[in-house]
Structure 1
């Protein structure tokens, strides 16, 4: 091997190591807040601030988790969050998949206008719709109920999910639909038996995004549970650690850790499908 090729190989290795170091620093900066809140959940309220940015607590206070789970009713709030989030994910996946399928595979009058309106809703602040949503829910008798929270969370635009499905369905060969029609399948049977199973990666992507948004949503569950504290979700339940004159910071950190664990588990379990779904829709 010549000296020039050896020098190029050395520069290439140095470049790779430089990229690894930069990515490692970014990863540490990105993950550090999660590590800090987990560390704070094991400290006492004074140690949360006296320890500064340190991650190692002087003593392990597991009673913070017991206080969050039992005394602050986080066991009940977790059940509410699971019910609300899973219901929201199911409705959003069904609705957005059907909308994306129609946009991608059907030609109808005003199709471009419909897509343009959907995209325009991306720029509308969500706070503008909270009053009509609450008023409509109250008229339908859905206020102060889990059903009302689910419908309110699942009823917003979710334009990104619709466009992901539309992009994916537009790449599916039409021969599959034609074969299903030849077998006597109608619109819904073709959708549920042929098209939706093929969109597994996109469904995983939409499911993860919706799960994150519904699980962390604070405003709508807060408004819908003003007079029903037993229906609060984890995000709203964290208000229990904030008093008029003081805040239970260690209990709040423990509650935050409890709330983060399901999110991390869901994302780690579906991250491969999440990436495949985004890549598949973007390619179209």
Structure 2
């Protein structure tokens, strides 16, 4: 056997030995990772506490009315009562309420996105007299409670003959200031380079053409964020839909339809939990689809 053949196995044996300083779970490395594990544990516990009410509601939707109170904090029902969902969907009329909510929410989201995008674009890219005054007024409306605006909105809608209609409900919900959405678009449009508009003007594009074909498509992350925020606010709106459907029960939305489970002497808690679970499914699905764009939109808007 040659000298090289004798040395090679020795080197292999030496290389296979684990050096003391390379131990993955050495004491020093474990101590350095302790803060990370502690933070992960705190976040996990916080996440469980945050999601527990939702899980309890889903569990309550499968319990009978007596078990809702006797089971305490237990999540799993003794026997699944799927009839709660059929009772909420058919008997309480939540099928009709869901259609009304979808119509109102989708229309409101489209109007709010277009209006806020145009307002944010003008405030970010155009110079005009009174621009600072408009900004001050918009920011000041953030401190006005929502309840103070219901009475004038109802009076205007009544004078226009839109009080007991879905179109009036949509205009009332979409006609608010929506300052946060405008500021998101403003912050995003402000950081875009001016060369984009200058090149489009040289090619003969007008104001609306630049906005619709260039600026608005570039603001997709903000549009997703505004869509999600408006969807959540409109889907869960209660006071305005209640007023606009007070004399027209067939125009109720899901949030107002929850009142159908509240009687004079008792409340159908299991049916209400089933109805709430039904109403939350579209919200959860939309958030899962748009969560990445939601984070990008917030980050892009506040970068400037």
Q: TM-score, normalised by structure 1?
A: 0.98
CA distance in 2, matches of 1:101, 1:197: 12
Pick aligned residue for 1:12 from 32, 35, 41: 32
Written as runs of structure 1 = structure 2, the 5 A alignment for 1:51-200 is 51-200=71-220
CA distance in 2, matches of 1:82, 1:111: 36
What SS class does the counterpart of residue 62 from structure 2 fall into? coil
Q: Max radius of gyration: which structure? A: 2
CA distance in 2, matches of 1:9, 1:15: 11
Deviation at 1:262, TM superposition (A): 0.5
2:15 match: none
CA distance in 1, matches of 2:232, 2:162: 23
Deviations 1:129-178 (A, max 9, x none): 11110010011111111111110001111000000000000011111111
Deviation at 1:112, TM superposition (A): 1.2
CA distance in 1, matches of 2:22, 2:174: 64
CA distance in 2, matches of 1:272, 1:240: 36
1:216 match: 236
Number of positions where the alignment pairs a residue of Structure 1 with one of Structure 2: 283
Could you say what the CA RMSD is over the residues aligned between the two structures, in angstroms?
1.3
CA distance in 2, matches of 1:122, 1:156: 11
Deviation at 1:8, TM superposition (A): 3.8
CA distance in 1, matches of 2:92, 2:291: 32
Q: Which runs of 5+ in 2 are unaligned?
A: 1-20
Of stretches 11-20 and 173-182 in structure 1, the one that deviates more from structure 2 is: 11-20
1:38 match: 58
CA distance in 2, matches of 1:89, 1:11: 50
What SS class does the counterpart of residue 112 from structure 1 fall into? helix
Deviation at 1:10, TM superposition (A): 1.6
Deviation at 1:46, TM superposition (A): 0.4
